[in-house]
Structure 1
Amino acid sequence: MPRILLLSLALLAGIALAQEPLQIVTEELPPYNMVRQGQMTGMSTEVVEAILKEAGLAGNIKSMPWARAYDIALHGENILIYSIARTPERETLFQWVGGIAPSRLSLYSVAARPIHLNNLEEARQYQIGTVKDDVAEQYLISKGFEVGKNLQSSNKYESNYEKLKLGHVDLWVSNDLNAHYLARAASDPSTVLVPSLPLDELALKDGLYLACSMNTAPATVERLRQAFQAIQDNGVYAGIVARWM
């Protein structure tokens, strides 16, 4: 078969793959991604929707426990996942589109039972609320913490916030924006969050990402990257972030 025909067929195949509906998975991480009145919303969600619109791609966003979303994105085809931290351990597991939202993580306690830590080693004596398979839990496990010993793993960030308020855990590891959003939404003056220890080692230079599964067509990934750059250049991205920060 002539080389020019082979190249044409490959190009057409790439275009066809890029036009297939995408499955988009995420979790409840307000105010980044969340279901409100039956609709997906949040800062990251708005950015993802703007990227898809700019790219001319369609896809349904589904919210689910993070561990399930992560597993689907690891093994599925034509999968997008957000808001995901880009770490060295995950670098080769996904195709990265771009950092769509700012992020910083800390350990929190409450004013009724304040805990002030000088370093992570001091946290080992406490019970810490984490979310299964999220970046903070993976980080703590890599430092020798153990689920069932000093980590209590849940499926939702809201569950850990409730555990902290009730004293079922001593500390809660959370994204700072998420922690303060949940505290404000609770409107509970008896609960004041105390930043016990910032996790500077987990500071994410480009924030939380939109990523594609490894079994997503390269043409689709490149199309998304170009669309993200376009909404950064035309001010759409900055406008979304400004509304939520």
Structure 2
Amino acid sequence: MKHILAVTLFLILSLGAAPAARAGNFIAMGAPYPPYCVSNGLTVKGMAVTTLTTIMDMCGTPINDSEIKLMPWAYAYESAARQPQRILLNAQRTPQTEHLYKWVGPMATARIVLIGRKRDKLFIPTRNQLKGYRIATVRWSRPEKALLSGGMREEELLRSPSHVQALRQLDKGEVDLFASTERGAPYHLAGMGLRPEDFTVCFTFDEEPLYFAFSRDTDDSLIHRLNRALQEIKATGPQGRSLFDRMFAE
């Protein structure tokens, strides 16, 4: 990761004289991250995609389905930092990434949770109590990274290549907990034919604000307008709900 940051920072500095991006012709990129970015046949859907297309339309800079792509996170991360007119979906705004992009958001906050079977009736009041549980994660997933950055060690986790294997273990009682986002867990469970209502959040480990990270050549006035548009759709309306809430009402 340090190597990637060093390379991207060098490339950003080399683009210091690049002209400001014109409206349109952006390419948005993100890794699969249900329900924020999911594959839907030949297109990409999800909360982040719907929100982005909405605010881009509001600002007169529409983005087409063909310009929104799923790809490995490391490639999307570096491409948005290196190439003009790029948008990184579901980005984390940290001191290390602050100067690599221009920021719109936060779009939403992903809650990193540990889910378990309701019938097990697990009670976990603090992180210290997690030590005695068998916790399944998807290897290199963002929930797993959150656990590791929050003080857990790899050897304390039961790492799987995909959520399918991990959730099968959870359903069979072979593990106690599965690390996921709160919104993503029902999506994965339903996709496997499991009943989301048979599972519950046993512990909230962390919260992760999600941003749209625009390449540095993007005009500052567009970034300002997009942030204003995002505030508008998230503002509470006369019915007590925002447009954002209505867009994603279950």
Same fold flag (TM > 0.5): yes
Question: How do 1:53-202 residues align onto structure 2 when only pairs under 5 Å count?
Answer: 53-57=57-61, 58=63, 60-88=67-95, 90-111=97-118, 113-125=120-132, 126-130=134-138, 132=140, 134=142, 136-147=143-154, 149-150=156-157, 152=159, 154=161, 160-167=166-173, 169-189=175-195, 192-199=198-205, 202=206
Give the match for residue 242 of structure 1: 246
What displacement does 1:75 show? 4.6
What displacement does 1:103 show? 3.0
Paired residue secondary structure (1:229): helix
Provide the rounded CA distance (Å) in 2 between the counterparts of 1:89 and 1:227.
Answer: 23
Paired residue secondary structure (2:19): helix
Give the match for residue 233 of structure 1: 232
Provide the rounded CA distance (Å) in 1 between the counterparts of 2:95 and 2:184.
Answer: 23
**2:39 pairs with 1:31:** no
Structure 2 unaligned regions, length at least 5: 1-16, 237-241
Provide the rounded CA distance (Å) in 2 between the counterparts of 1:29 and 1:87.
Answer: 19
Q: How has the CA–CA distance of structure 1 residues 148 and 64 changed in structure 2, closer, same or farther, with 3 Å as cutoff? A: farther
Provide the rounded CA distance (Å) in 2 between the counterparts of 1:30 and 1:174.
Answer: 10
Provide the rounded CA distance (Å) in 1 between the counterparts of 2:233 and 2:116.
Answer: 41
Match of 1:209 among 208, 211, 216: 211
Q: How has the CA–CA distance of structure 1 residues 38 and 105 changed in structure 2, closer, same or farther, with 3 Å as cutoff? A: same
Structure 1 unaligned regions, length at least 5: 1-10
Provide the rounded CA distance (Å) in 2 between the counterparts of 1:132 and 1:149.
Answer: 15
What displacement does 1:167 show? 4.9
Q: Does structure 1 retain, via aligned residues, the 8 Å contact 2:80–2:88?
A: yes
Paired residue secondary structure (1:104): strand
Structure ranking higher on relative contact order (CA contacts 8 Å, 6+ apart)? 1
Q: How has the CA–CA distance of structure 1 residues 73 and 152 changed in structure 2, closer, same or farther, with 3 Å as cutoff? A: farther
Q: Does structure 1 retain, via aligned residues, the 8 Å contact 2:85–2:218?
A: no
Moved more, 45-54 or 125-134: 125-134
Q: How has the CA–CA distance of structure 1 residues 211 and 166 changed in structure 2, closer, same or farther, with 3 Å as cutoff? A: farther
- Give the TM-score, by structure 1 length: 0.71
Per-residue CA deviation, residues 98-124 of structure 1 (Å, 9 max, x unaligned), is 112243221112235554322222323
Give the match for residue 222 of structure 2: 223
Provide the rounded CA distance (Å) in 1 between the counterparts of 2:106 and 2:227.
Answer: 9
Q: How many residues align?
A: 225
Give the match for residue 6 of structure 1: none
Per-residue CA deviation, residues 113-169 of structure 1 (Å, 9 max, x unaligned), is 5543222223234233145262x3333222332335525264x65664455335564
Per-residue CA deviation, residues 170-217 of structure 1 (Å, 9 max, x unaligned), is 322222112133334545349722222112xx335xx4221124xx21
Equivalent AA in structure 2 for residue 127 of structure 1: I
Q: Does structure 2 retain, via aligned residues, the 8 Å contact 1:52–1:224?
A: no
- Give the TM-score, by structure 2 length: 0.70
What percent identity do the matched residue pairs reach? 21
Per-residue CA deviation, residues 27-60 of structure 1 (Å, 9 max, x unaligned), is 3333322222432222221111122223343461
What displacement does 1:222 show? 3.9
Provide the rounded CA distance (Å) in 2 between the counterparts of 1:18 and 1:149.
Answer: 49
Moved more, 184-193 or 22-31: 184-193
